[in-house]
Amino acid sequence: MIKKIKYFFNWILLLGSTLLVCLILGVILWDIFSKGRSAVSWDFISQFPTNGMTKGGILPAIVGTLLLTFITTIFAVPFGVACAIYLNEYARPSVLTNIIRASIRNLAGIPSIIYGLFGLALFVQALHLGTSVLSAGLTLGLLSLPYIITTTEEALKRIPNSMREATLALGATQFETIKDVVVPKALPGILTGVILTMSRAAGETAPILFTGVAFYINGISASPNQEFMALPYHLYMLSTQHQAIEQVRPLAYGTASVLILLVFILNIIAFYIRFKHRTQE
Amino acid sequence: MSIKKREHTDWLLKKIFKATGLITIALLAGIFLMLLYNSIAFFADVKPLDFFTGSQWDPESNKSKYGIAPLLVSTGLVTLGAMLIAIPLGIFTAAYLSEFAHPKVKTILKPLIEMLAAIPSVAIGFLGIVLVGPGIAKIFGIANGLNAFNGSVLLAVMALPTIITISEDAINAVPLSHREASLALGANKWQTIFKVTLPAALPGLIAAVMLGLGRALGETMTVLMATGNAAVMPKGFLDAVRTITATIAIEMGEVPYRTTHYFALFAIAVILFIITLIINLLGEYFANRLRKFHA
Q: What is the pLDDT of residues B212-244, one digit of tens each?
A: 999 999 999 999 999 988 878 888 888 889 999
Residues A106, A227: one domain? yes
Residues A143, A9: one domain? no
CA distance A61 to chain B (A): 15
Q: What is the pLDDT of residue B23?
A: 92
Residues A121, A143: one domain? yes
- Chain A stretch 64-123, residues whose beta carbon is closer than 8 A to a beta carbon of chain B: 79, 82-83, 85-87, 89-91, 96-97, 99-100, 102-107, 109-118, 120-122
Please write the tens of the pLDDT for every residue from B31-56. Answer: 999 999 999 988 888 888 888 888 88
Burial label, B89 (beta-carbon count in 10 A; 0-12, 13-18, 19+): buried
| Structural domain span for residue A19 | 2-36
CB B233 within 8 A of CB B8: no
Residue contact B252–A32, C-beta within 8 A = no
Residue contact A173–B89, C-beta within 8 A = no
Which DSSP category does B229 fall into?
-
Please write the tens of the pLDDT for every residue from A131-189. Answer: 899 999 999 999 999 999 999 999 999 888 898 999 889 988 888 888 888 999 999 99
Q: What is the pLDDT of residue A151?
A: 92
Residues A17, A57: one domain? no
Least confident range of A88-102, A148-162, B228-242, B269-283: B228-242
Total CB pairs under 8 A between chain A and B: 239
Residues A25, A119: one domain? no
Q: How many domains does chain A have?
A: 2
- CB of B245 less than 8 A from some CB of A: yes
**Is the pLDDT assigned to residue B295 strictly greater than 60?**
no
Please give the model's pTM, rounded to 2 decimal places.
0.92
Helix/strand/coil percentages in chain B, nearest 5 = 80, 0, 20
**A49: β partners:** A56
A204 to chain B: nearest residue by CA? Answer: B120
Q: Is the dihedral of CA B214, B219, B222, B226 positive or negative?
A: positive
Residues A91, A15: one domain? no
- Chain A stretch 189-228, residues whose beta carbon is closer than 8 A to a beta carbon of chain B: 199-200, 202-206, 209-210
Residue contact A105–B284, C-beta within 8 A = yes
Residues A25, A141: one domain? no
H/E run at residue A56 = strand A55-56
A100 to chain B: nearest residue by CA? Answer: B25
Please write the tens of the pLDDT for every residue from A220-274. Answer: 766 777 888 899 999 999 888 877 778 888 889 999 999 999 999 999 999 899 8
CB B79 within 8 A of CB B87: no
ipTM value > 0.95? no
Residues A186, A98: one domain? yes
CATH number at residue A228: 1.10.3720.10
Residues A60, A28: one domain? no
Please write the tens of the pLDDT for every residue from B118-169. Answer: 999 999 999 999 999 999 999 998 888 888 999 999 999 999 999 999 999 9
